[in-house]
Amino acid sequence: MDSNTRNGNTRAIITGGAQGLGLAIAHQLAEEGAQALVLIGRSEEKGRAAVAAIEALGAEAHFISAELSDIDACQRAGAQALERLGTVNALVNAAATSARGTLVDTTPALFDRIFATNVRAPFFLMQAVVAHLLNSGSTGSIVNVLSMAAHGGASYLSPYAASKGALATLTRNAAHAYRGSRIRVNAVLPGWMDTPGETVVQQTFHDAGENWLAEAEAGQPMGQLVKPDQLAMLVAYMISPQSGVMTGALVDYDQTVVGAAD
Buried b (16+ CB within 10 A) or exposed e, 207-235: ebeeeebeebeeeeeeeebbebeebbebb
What pLDDT, on the 0 to 100 scale, is given for residue 2? 72
What pLDDT, on the 0 to 100 scale, is given for residue 186? 98
Tell me which of 160, 178, 237, 253 is the catalytic residue. Answer: 160
What pLDDT, on the 0 to 100 scale, is given for residue 195? 82
* Domain ranges, ordered by start, for the chain: 11-191+231-250, 193-225
β-bridge partners, 205:
none
Written as tens digits, the pLDDT of the chain (262 aa) is: 677 789 999 999 999 999 999 999 999 999 999 999 999 999 999 999 999 999 999 999 999 999 999 999 999 999 999 999 999 999 999 999 999 999 999 999 999 999 999 999 999 999 999 999 999 999 999 999 999 999 999 999 999 999 999 999 999 999 999 999 999 999 999 998 888 878 888 888 887 788 889 888 999 999 999 999 999 999 999 999 999 999 999 999 999 999 998 7
Catalogue the E-assigned strands of 60-182.
60-65, 90-93, 140-145
178 a catalytic residue: no
What pLDDT, on the 0 to 100 scale, is given for residue 233? 98
With CA atoms as reference, report the closest residue to 127 among 156, 91, 97. Answer: 91
What pLDDT, on the 0 to 100 scale, is given for residue 1? 62
What pLDDT, on the 0 to 100 scale, is given for residue 207? 79
In the DSSP assignment, the letter for residue 66 is -
CATH class name, domain 11-191+231-250 = alpha beta
